[in-house]
Amino acid sequence: MPKKILLDVDPGVVDAMALCWAFFDPMVEIAGITSVGGNVPAPVAAKNLQAIVEFIDPPRLPRMGFGTVPDEGLPSDYRHVHGIDGLGGTPLPVAELRSRHPAEKVICDIIRDDPENVIVIAMGPLTNIARALILDPELPRMIRHLYITGGTLNARGNVTPCAEFNIYADPAAAKTVLLAPFTKTLIPLEVTNPVMFSYSDLEQLPGTDFKLGSLFRSMLIPAFQAYRQCYGIEGIHIHDLVTYAVAVHPELAETKELAVDVEIEGQLTRGMTVIDARPIPEWTNGVDVVTKINEQEILREILLGLNDAANQME
């Protein structure tokens, strides 16, 4: 039986690729999708989510919700990597919606409609998830599982020396979610960083005679160029695709239950994921943290998923 999932995304090139995979993945049933500000501001993320769904044009539209700016605003903007529109300048037409349902309300409704069966996959900052928990205090006992892209094991960040981007973008929300009493799995930088998507991987996907093949190239080639210019790296990180793969294929990952919290006030450590590894930790929220993955098998699953999606869409 397919896993019922709710995707919370901040598209972003990689999140867009994950959405394309998920819509054609026989392993899952998409109950809903919500947008959150992260790689791009919240209004841009909302527009991108709608544009991608309209481009894919699935037989059954999932429920969609759209997030707003975090209470403290987004501290950084990564459009220099993802392009001014977040999708590498890809021209995707989008209809103007008369009204947009709030992301946190959609999350609560979907989980309440099928309690203990919905798996939430959070690929951006945790703003929407935290707001849903505040809106409906009974929600934790109804969430089957939450998978989170974010955090670090050793406090070596990517947006600051100590903080990973998704946690740094809204640390108060991350703290709320990580301390909440329900099953959750954190997929940190140490696990996702080594899995890179390269030009040679792109060549393994269908070409421009396929609709998705054309979309992938339109988004990825500018991303490759931005990574080379900004970071001197030949290839791009695909953190969120790794998270999706782990959520759907948990047998490809090893986890360890750890006590995890988030620093929200430190001048130098804001957004730092703090793990209490002492024999008797001060707090015991019990987050399953992925410590190891089968990197080659994960990348193989990603390429298979994207290829299958491109072939099915034709």
| Overall average pLDDT of the 266-280 stretch | 91
In the annotation, is 82 catalytic?
Answer: no
Cα of 65 vs its chain's centroid, Å: 15
- Yes or no: say if 299 and 199 are a contact pair by the CB < 8 Å rule: no
Confidence of residue 91 (pLDDT cuts 50, 70, 90): confident
The identity of residue 29, as a single letter, is E
pLDDT digits (tens, 9 = 90+) for 160-211: 999 999 999 999 999 999 999 999 999 999 999 999 999 999 999 999 889 9
Catalytic hit among 82, 145, 237, 239 = 239
pLDDT digits (tens, 9 = 90+) for 227-249: 998 889 999 999 999 999 999 99
Residue ranges and CATH numbers for the domains of the chain are 3-313 (3.90.245.10)
Say how far apart CA 3 and CA 300 lie, in whole Å: 20
Would the pLDDT of 112 be above 70? Answer: yes
Say how far apart CA 103 and CA 33 lie, in whole Å: 8
- Yes or no: say if 136 and 108 are a contact pair by the CB < 8 Å rule: yes
- Yes or no: say if 304 and 297 are a contact pair by the CB < 8 Å rule: no
% of the chain with per-residue pLDDT over 90: 77
